[in-house]
A and B are shown apart, each in its own frame.
Chain A
Amino acid sequence: MTIHTFWPMLKKEFYEQYRTYRTLIATIILLLLGLSAPIITKLTPELLKSLGGGITVILPPQTSTDALNAYLKNMTQLPALILILLAMGCIADERTHGTAVTVLTKPVPRTVFVLAKFVSYALLFLTATMLAAAGDYFYTYQFFSALPPGPFVLLNLALLIFYLLTLALTLLASVLFRNAVAAGGVAFAGFLVLSILPGLNSTIAHALPSVLFSPQRVTQLLAGTASLGDIVQPLLTGFGLTLALVMIACFVFQRQEL
């Protein structure tokens, strides 16, 4: 892979994301979800009280931990679906419309073509996640108390790896299928499997990054009682799976007829 071909390809991907409003969609959605978590946590007891209709709802006082759990719940559902929707056609559409042929007839290696797409979406979601995290941290501090920065950064790193895994899955599906909707469907099915598997097997549950988002593990992280292995293993597994899926995508794409 030559860096001389990678940068122009990455630049092209960023320009395409900007022109197709993908940058705007990802940034605004993640920001909305990040900001809304502490706000909704703050307002939930009052809203329940007001909507109770004579029924008394007793809730313990909401804390920054509740706001963090709401943030993680927000950030692991809709953003992953948005990521699948945005990236499902990234290779499938280029093959269908014939633009992939135009680009690849120039001296651009196929691996560079796939990697530029992966890196551009990864950087987009990295930026959006950082903005959402900053907004969430600020609002949580304003409404409750400051979250410990270390565990908060670690959980956001886990979120990013979770997005990278979803992206790698979508990229592979987009390489395998010429139809963007089919690619999206397969990526979504894969995402569902990754979400359901931890519930079926405890060994798998402890190995995937999503284990870090469970309220019990969040409490442990905030209290500093989680072991290093509990933290590192899911992050490494998520990163390793991502790497493997991207390599498979590159391998398959190199052997495909366009």
Chain B
Amino acid sequence: MLMESSSSWKGIERDVAMHINLSTGAILSLVLPLAALELILIIVALIDLIRREPGRVNGSKVVWALIIVLIGTIGPICYFILGRKE
């Protein structure tokens, strides 16, 4: 289930587009709300990371940026919980 929830929506969208006879509009209506939610999470995490002084981040800012961008939904959550010195 962790895999299911953390899997990349972009990947699902590509698989759907390649193999299912649905119109582009139908695919977008399926995936867009999910992609939008994930995007909000990524953008908010990145803005917080950029504004934050390096001393108030656990570890390297570059590594956290990569984690946020590359690891789907879990990346930003890991950053919010583990990456920030509150």
Q: Is the CB of A21 within 8 A of B44?
A: yes
Residue A20 at the B interface, CB < 8 A? yes
Q: Is the CB of B48 within 8 A of A32?
A: no
Cα(A74)–Cα(B2), bound, Å:
9
In the complex, per-residue mask of A133-172: 1 if CB is within 8 Å of any chain B CB, else 0 = 0010000000000000000000000000000000000000
CB contact under 8 A between A32 and B34, given known A25-B80, A77-B2, A78-B1: yes
Cα(A238)–Cα(B28), bound, Å:
40
Instruction: Identify the closest chain A residue to B18 (Cβ).
Output: A50
Instruction: Identify the closest chain B residue to A49 (Cβ).
Output: B19
Which residues from chain B contact A86 at a C-beta distance below 8 Å? 81
Residue A123 at the B interface, CB < 8 A? no
Which of A1-9, A38-46, A105-113 lines the interface with chain B?
A38-46
Shortest CB-to-CB span from B26 to chain A, Å, is 11
Instruction: Tell me which residues from 1 to 50 in chain B have a Cβ below 8 Å from any Cβ of chain A.
Output: 1-2, 4-5, 12, 15-16, 18-20, 30-31, 33-34, 37-38, 40-41, 44, 48
Shortest CB-to-CB span from A76 to chain B, Å, is 9
Q: Is the CB of A40 within 8 A of B44?
A: no
Shortest CB-to-CB span from B20 to chain A, Å, is 5
Residue B86 at the A interface, CB < 8 A? yes
Shortest CB-to-CB span from B8 to chain A, Å, is 12
Q: Is the CB of B1 within 8 A of A36?
A: no
Q: Is the CB of B5 within 8 A of A33?
A: yes
Which residues from chain B contact A93 at a C-beta distance below 8 Å? 86
Shortest CB-to-CB span from A59 to chain B, Å, is 15
Partner of B73, one of A32, A35, A50, A74: A32
B1, B38, B48 interface centre (most CB from chain A within 10 Å): B1
Q: Is the CB of B5 within 8 A of A35?
A: no
Which residues from chain B contact A33 at a C-beta distance below 8 Å? 5
Q: Is the CB of B15 within 8 A of A78?
A: no
CB contact under 8 A between A74 and B1, given known A28-B41, A29-B73, A47-B15: yes
Cα(A39)–Cα(B5), bound, Å:
12
Shortest CB-to-CB span from A87 to chain B, Å, is 11
Instruction: Identify the closest chain B residue to A27 (Cβ).
Output: B37
Instruction: Identify the closest chain B residue to A135 (Cβ).
Output: B33
Which residues from chain A contact B30 at a C-beta distance below 8 Å? 39, 42-43
Which residues from chain A contact B38 at a C-beta distance below 8 Å? 28, 32
Residue A178 at the B interface, CB < 8 A? no
Cα(A85)–Cα(B31), bound, Å:
28
Q: Is the CB of B73 within 8 A of A43?
A: no
Q: Is the CB of A36 within 8 A of B34?
A: yes
Residue B57 at the A interface, CB < 8 A? no
- A residues sitting closer than 8 Å to B (CB atoms) are 20-21, 24-25, 28-29, 31-33, 35-36, 39-40, 42-43, 46-47, 49-51, 73-74, 77-78, 82, 85-86, 93, 135
- List, sorted by A's number, 24 A–B pairs whose CB atoms are closer than 8 Å: A25-B41, A25-B77, A28-B37, A28-B38, A32-B34, A35-B33, A35-B34, A35-B37, A36-B34, A39-B30, A39-B31, A39-B34, A43-B30, A46-B16, A46-B20, A47-B15, A47-B16, A50-B20, A51-B19, A74-B4, A78-B5, A85-B81, A93-B86, A135-B33
